[in-house]
Chains A and B, each alone.
Chain A
Amino acid sequence: MHLIFFLIFAAFCLAGAVNLLVQTHPINSALSLIVVMISLAVLYLLLGAEFLAAAQIIVYAGAVMVLFTFVVMLLNAGSEERTHGSHAAYSIGLPAVVAIFAIIATVLLRAQGLGTVGPANAITTTEELSTVLFTELLLPFEVTSVLILIAILGAVALASKGRGEANAPKERSQR
């Protein structure tokens, strides 16, 4: 069963990723990414990470991607134009990406000692997870809450009206 599920949802992942690249309007790309994330949640389940699968859907697909969608709709920028602004991206970036993928893939394929996963392997319960999270790693956990607070403050400061409005008319007239 794991094999079938893996094949299906891995295909969904790859399709969603390729679609993200292919689409021109950002809203389509965002929706494709949601597909990827949900597929990934299923894959986490296959690997025995039940809490993470739930968190993936709730936090990532449900909050972060919604935020993205909000911003796309707010800005309403439209499809992107076909401009060739950077030659370096094609001439240097593409070989670099190919090289990275090739190296990692080769290392992985030649690795020994990697196991398998199937119906018989253990599922990490939420209880196990929270035990470690709230005892051993309590400090990092609290620090992340501070991090999120800072992010909130930063986002509010950046996006508040006073910052952008004053410059905008000047910029538009210069262009």
Chain B
Amino acid sequence: MNGFLAQQVPLSWFLLLSAALFALGIVGFLFKRNLITIFLSIELMLNAVNLSFVTFASQWHAVKGQIFVFFVMMVAAAESAVGLAIIIAIFRVRATLAVDQIDRMKR
């Protein structure tokens, strides 16, 4: 039991998880049709990256890795505030959140 409880987790597994979450985030960005869901996928990607930062901070015992995560969270918060404001503005004008119908920037 002691042996089992004291088992170590290889850091590469954390990194793999981070890569998987990131890939899932991209898939969501590509295939979801609701603007808000797309935005959620972006947040997912950011979290995946945060995980890899913390992993490496643990690997090298560097506090700066974690501080970077701190800043990423800050920026993500600010960015989501502004992004959601934009989504609200778009919704006011177009009355739809379907991303396929918000295509005024074509040729």
Contact = CB atoms under 8 A, between A and B. Distances in A.
Contacts of B96: 77
A164 B90 CA distance: 8
Given A40-B50, A46-B9, A97-B27, A108 B15 contact: yes
A72 B43 CA distance: 15
Contacts of B79: 151
Nearest to B25: A17
Interface string A35-77: 0110010011011110110011001100110011001101101
A26 B40 contact: yes
Given A144-B75, A158-B85, A51 B66 contact: yes
B18 to A, nearest CB: 9
B54 A115 contact: no
Interface in A1-60: 1-3, 6, 10, 13-14, 17-18, 20-21, 26, 29-30, 33, 36-37, 40, 43-44, 46-49, 51-52, 55-56, 59-60
B58 A2 contact: no
B19 A75 contact: no
Interface residues of B, number: 79
Contacts of B73: 55-56, 59-60
* Contact residues of B: prevailing secondary structure: helix
Interface string B56-86: 0111010110110111011111111110111
B84 A68 contact: yes
A64 B72 CA distance: 13
A135 to B, nearest CB: 11
A47 B7 contact: no
A163 B39 CA distance: 22
B47 A67 contact: no
B80 A64 contact: yes
A1 B74 CA distance: 32
B79 to A, nearest CB: 7
A105 B15 CA distance: 9
A68 B39 contact: yes
Contacts of A111: 12
Given A36-B47, A86-B100, A97-B27, A159 B85 contact: yes
Given A26-B40, A40-B47, A85-B33, A132 B67 contact: yes
A165 B92 CA distance: 7
Interface of B: 4-17, 19-28, 30-34, 36-37, 39-41, 43-44, 47, 50-51, 54-55, 57-59, 61, 63-64, 66-67, 69-71, 73-82, 84-89, 91-101
